[in-house]
Structure 1
Amino acid sequence: MTKKQRAELVQRELEKLYPQVPIPLDHTDPYTLMVAVALSAQTTDKKVNQVTPELFRVAGTPEKMAQLEVEEIRELIKEIGLSNTKARNLKRMAELLLERHNGVVPQTYEELEALPGVGHKTASVVMSQGFGFPAFPVDTHIHRLMTQWKLTSGKNVVETEKDAKAIWPESVWNKLHLQIIFYGREYSPARGKGEKDFITKMLFEK
């Protein structure tokens, strides 16, 4: 099976499994999405979704977030890993949004990635899920599965993202990256033995 055939099979099977894919992180607008994604680093989406309702009730806008002290933000997100660093980032992110962008989340990678706590993956999620621009955010699930499916030889998520964008048409990026994440969690978890990972079996069965 060629790489192109493998990619087509993956897309076809994922579309059957997940014809509709919800965005895993609860949010109401691009700002709350960006905050949720920034919080999700090294933390599960489930844990983030448990913490953000109260955080967004208190500070669901850059204006309100900027008014809080770092310690107040940390108290609201203390159950999340790296809460000290993330609290500082959220306060400074809010301040810079107000200083540079009138409190509006910008719609370019360059401006997004200039904000504290916003790396390329977070910016990609905001661009795709917040604004609808074609993007292919690559997390560890996607990197692991694409390597497993021999669709990338990338050493890191940056190289894997480049390969993903070359393999699949732009029109499916925003949906497909979520489909792969859901598949990884449900059928091929990193700590599992992959018994349920039927796509890998289909790709490489003799």
Structure 2
Amino acid sequence: MNASRPVSTRGPLRPSLMLAAVSLLGFGLLYSLAGTGLGRALFPHQATGSLIERDGQVIGSSLVAQPFADDRYFQSRPSAASYDVMALAGSNQARTNPDLRSRIDEARAAVAAREGVAPDAVPGDLVTQSGGGIDPHLSPTAIRIQIARVARARGIEAADVERLVAAHTEAPQFGVLGAPRVNVLQLNLALDAEM
């Protein structure tokens, strides 16, 4: 005689709820808190956005480009996001797009006039946007083309500005990854501090 037992729905429900609770609390909350805490402990400056402070006020981040309009400062790379960190984006225009070509030609002519050089001497990173739209770095070539203007506007010797540029030129990471670069915000702050 086979007596059939009633099927209990309580049996699988409790382990399922426990697995869901452990997963949500363990992986969703505790893992995230541990990762955030470890990051803040090991890399406190980077974990808070690599912020730069002067006189107790945050004036920027070493990770975000800022626009500079005054001739006494090195100009940053153009931004498709208007230097807004909440709108990170490139222009998403293909190389064959006539609007992109037109914009680059106009920017090249403006930079050439501002720096007093021929349009074909203007480096590409002074007229094109980075993929994220807020890249804070320029190539040493793009910085060097601006030295004469900055020195003239500040009334100092170009050699003094060149010395600061050399001191703020970062080598490729680990000596092989990337290209030499200069953080424009940090260079401009060094100019203000020293000159």
Larger radius of gyration: 2
TM-score, length of structure 2 as denominator length: 0.27
Q: Which structure shows the higher strand fraction?
A: 2
TM-score by length of 1: 0.26
> More helix per residue: 1 or 2?
1
